[in-house]
Structure 1
Amino acid sequence: MSSRNRVTSALHVVLVFCCVAGSAAMASDLDEAIRKVRMGTLVVEAEPGVKVRVEQLRHEFWFGAALANHPFSGRMAAEDQARYREVFLANFNAAVTENALKWHVMEPRRGQVDYSVVDAILDWTEQHDIPLRGHNIFWGISNRVQSWQKDLDDDALRQVVKARALDVGARYRGRFVEYDLNNEMIHGNYYEERLGPAITRDMAVWVRQGDPDAVLYLNDYDILTGRRLDDYVAHIRGLLEQGVPIGGIGVQGHLHGDSFDPAVLQSSLARLAEFDLPIVVTEFNFPGQRSKHYNQRDVRLSDEEEQAKAEAIVDYYRICFAQPAVTGILMWGFWEGANWIPQSSLYRRDWSPTPAAEAYRDLVFRQWWTTWRGQTDAQGRCEVRAFYGRHRLTVGDREIVVSLKRPEQTKHVSFR
């Protein structure tokens, strides 16, 4: 080997070592942040020397997914419908309506409102204690606005917007945990163009006339890639200055390609966190819309691509879980049979798990899951570090379910 080749080879080894070392350091920092941000302490008091078991039942953090219309509209094969619901419950603790609540889906023709799918989804999620996001009340992208609305004059348009806000707020009062108020406003805002800059505040006021406790989120895309972050920050600031009651910041996760930039994701989340509002990653697909496979529904990922996808999803979730302001991540589809980017699914069409499904489950239900066995000390006490959420505590032959919440950090449970 020539001296030049030896130098090149050595330089390659150094670069690879630096990348691996850098990734390891980043992972270590994230794990430490996760322990600090996502774990508290359960203090159990009982008789000295008694056996104690702590088993986590559910995370406080939302590990969720979108619910498609078909499994709740009678337009899916019974076997797939049952499997869809079963797999959802086995993997996720929060949900969002994918299409059911969208105005153009509910009321394609004026005065003919179909509540049936929204009602069915709400009934099912409530039955299983699944918090549900309402996506979305309004969507002002021009091609998502019904033609019958565009035919109205400004006064009539304002009245139907008000009626929609009041209807959703009052009909579903207290049932949706939060809503996306007016979707993707930095990319298009038909209602503002027609009705003026105060319309967003008016929308919020009208929804809250129907439901005074409604939590209203903004929601937009190309933010976590950094491309529209400045625009979004300015938009949020402007709405807050107007007095719009923003309850949280939604950031979609569609616009990544076959990889993503971890540093940009971290910095984007950190910048949004400066608003001191909860952040939800509302619509996550990986690979995303900038993938070479986007819009090629019949193309399957290679084994190597599936493994890279699994690793990327783990990295993405670690970064989000380590950011204190983030309260949840919701996948925009988890099964190839009902996912607008099939390659981003955790489960194939035949319901077999992809490597990403296995990696996701290992992360959420093993690495970030509390299972502890031990006993109380001579003073009848033990302290268990646990992820925030719901836990079953068993002491001897007695059992209790408790919730350890992030604001409290420490929870005392007495069996005396």
Structure 2
Amino acid sequence: MFEFLRANQIIARGHNIFWEDPKYTPAWVRNLSGPELQAAVNSRIQSLMSKYKEEFIHWDVSNEMLHFDFYEQHLGPNATLHFYGTAHASDPLATLFMNEFNVVETCSDVNSTVDSYISRLQELKRGGVSMDGIGLEGHFTVPNLPLMRAVLDKLATLGLPIWLTEVDISNMLDKKTQAVYLDQVLREGFSHPSVNGILLWTALHPNGCYQMCLTDNNLQNLPAGDVVDNKLFKEWQIGEVNGYTDDHGSYSFYGFLGEYRVTVKCGNKTSTSTFSLCRSDETKHVSIRL
């Protein structure tokens, strides 16, 4: 799979090194204790990080720590500090994330309120953890958009990049309703200035779809796929913009963050250049000389 990513220049994030939920911890690991478990843990993280060093931009080091604590129960309260410290030392260029569900999805889960998320993250940073990213899974049924926006606003005060890492809409809803709610969630995430990226949780396998898929088994778009391909992607692409400069030789436009190519023509002279729009509170000025 990674050879495919490399060949197609697809950027990947690492999810995950450990999972605190015993349900998703291998049975042979659950049966270990003490030094044997510590040796298995060390082997896992060291082999993984050495094999994929500088290959992933992110690592979800220890998944869903607010809901589960298998490794801390069996190895002590410093187990998580060890995981993050080893990951950072092994691949200092990767951004390390705290990944969790039911932070933006609902206010009824007492384990993963925005305050408990912030408290746990700050606790780890006080312990010396290099924690540089906020991972919000985003497994929605009926989205509460005001709640989602308020949670993002509060987490944004930490000054860390926020990613929606596993967005889907519950299969308890019909496919058309899934598409409507997916549209709402993606717009809310895309429009927030502290959200740096969004990943969809749309795994398709021979047994069918986990919760939400963009296509059917024949790779034909479902309503959710149409929302992404035929609505949002087209709306969020600038395309080609043409216009004339004013008397001072200036031309202004609004654009999304990203890379741009500009061509200026005056009489028989033409000049082409590129520039990028990055996050800033200031107007971006680009000068092109003919």
Same fold (TM over 0.5): yes
In the alignment, is the contact (CA less than 8 A) between 1:337 and 1:348 conserved in 2? Answer: no
Aligned-partner Cα distance in 2 for 1:410–1:137 = 40
Inter-CA distance 359–147: structure 2 relative to 1 (3 Å threshold) = closer
Aligned-partner Cα distance in 1 for 2:75–2:203 = 38
Deviation at 1:362, TM superposition (A): 4.4
Aligned-partner Cα distance in 1 for 2:82–2:254 = 45
1:324 corresponds in structure 2 to 193
In the alignment, is the contact (CA less than 8 A) between 1:249 and 1:280 conserved in 2? Answer: yes
Aligned-partner Cα distance in 2 for 1:383–1:189 = 53
Does the residue aligned with 1:124 lie in a helix, a strand or coil?
helix
Aligned-partner Cα distance in 1 for 2:221–2:21 = 35
Q: Alignment partner for residue 267 of structure 1, among 150, 170, 181?
A: 150
Structure of greater relative contact order (alpha carbons < 8 Å, 6+ residues apart): 1
Aligned-partner Cα distance in 1 for 2:274–2:8 = 17
Aligned-partner Cα distance in 2 for 1:198–1:409 = 46
In the alignment, is the contact (CA less than 8 A) between 1:168 and 1:207 conserved in 2? Answer: no
2:227 corresponds in structure 1 to 359
For residues 379-407 of structure 1, the C-alpha deviation after alignment (integer angstroms, 9 at most, x for no partner) is: 43322221101223233465444332224
For residues 208-251 of structure 1, the C-alpha deviation after alignment (integer angstroms, 9 at most, x for no partner) is: 23212221101111111122214323322322222211111111
What is the 5 A alignment of 1:6-405? 120-121=1-2, 123-224=3-104, 225-226=106-107, 227=109, 228-229=112-113, 230-254=115-139, 256-257=140-141, 259-286=142-169, 288=170, 291-292=171-172, 301=174, 306=176, 308-333=177-202, 340-341=209-210, 344-371=212-239, 372-396=241-265, 398-405=271-278
Q: Which amino acid aligns with 1:393?
A: V
Stretches (4+) displaced over 6 A: none
What is the TM-score normalised by the length of structure 2? 0.85
In the alignment, is the contact (CA less than 8 A) between 1:285 and 1:341 conserved in 2? Answer: no
What is the TM-score normalised by the length of structure 1? 0.61
Larger helix proportion of the pair = 1
Aligned-partner Cα distance in 1 for 2:285–2:50 = 36
Does the residue aligned with 1:348 lie in a helix, a strand or coil?
coil
Inter-CA distance 240–376: structure 2 relative to 1 (3 Å threshold) = same
RMSD across aligned positions (CA) = 2.5
In the alignment, is the contact (CA less than 8 A) between 1:166 and 1:209 conserved in 2? Answer: no
Overall identity of the aligned pairs, in % = 28
Q: Which amino acid aligns with 1:282?
A: T
Aligned-partner Cα distance in 2 for 1:325–1:346 = 26
Q: Which amino acid aligns with 2:172?
A: K
In the alignment, is the contact (CA less than 8 A) between 1:336 and 1:345 conserved in 2? Answer: no
Deviation at 1:336, TM superposition (A): 7.4
Aligned-partner Cα distance in 2 for 1:338–1:413 = 55
For residues 181-203 of structure 1, the C-alpha deviation after alignment (integer angstroms, 9 at most, x for no partner) is: 10011121211111111111111
Deviation at 1:414, TM superposition (A): 2.1
In the alignment, is the contact (CA less than 8 A) between 1:334 and 1:347 conserved in 2? Answer: no
Q: Which amino acid aligns with 1:387?
A: F
Aligned-partner Cα distance in 2 for 1:340–1:273 = 33
Inter-CA distance 353–283: structure 2 relative to 1 (3 Å threshold) = same
Deviation at 1:270, TM superposition (A): 2.0
Deviation at 1:253, TM superposition (A): 1.4
In the alignment, is the contact (CA less than 8 A) between 1:390 and 1:401 conserved in 2? Answer: yes
Does the residue aligned with 2:84 lie in a helix, a strand or coil?
helix
Q: Which amino acid aligns with 1:137?
A: I
Does the residue aligned with 1:374 lie in a helix, a strand or coil?
coil
Deviation at 1:359, TM superposition (A): 2.4
In the alignment, is the contact (CA less than 8 A) between 2:258 and 2:276 conserved in 1? Answer: yes
Aligned-partner Cα distance in 1 for 2:184–2:247 = 42
In the alignment, is the contact (CA less than 8 A) between 1:136 and 1:182 conserved in 2? Answer: yes
Inter-CA distance 243–338: structure 2 relative to 1 (3 Å threshold) = farther
Greater shift, 198-207 or 123-132, is seen at 123-132
Deviation at 1:324, TM superposition (A): 1.8
Inter-CA distance 292–384: structure 2 relative to 1 (3 Å threshold) = closer
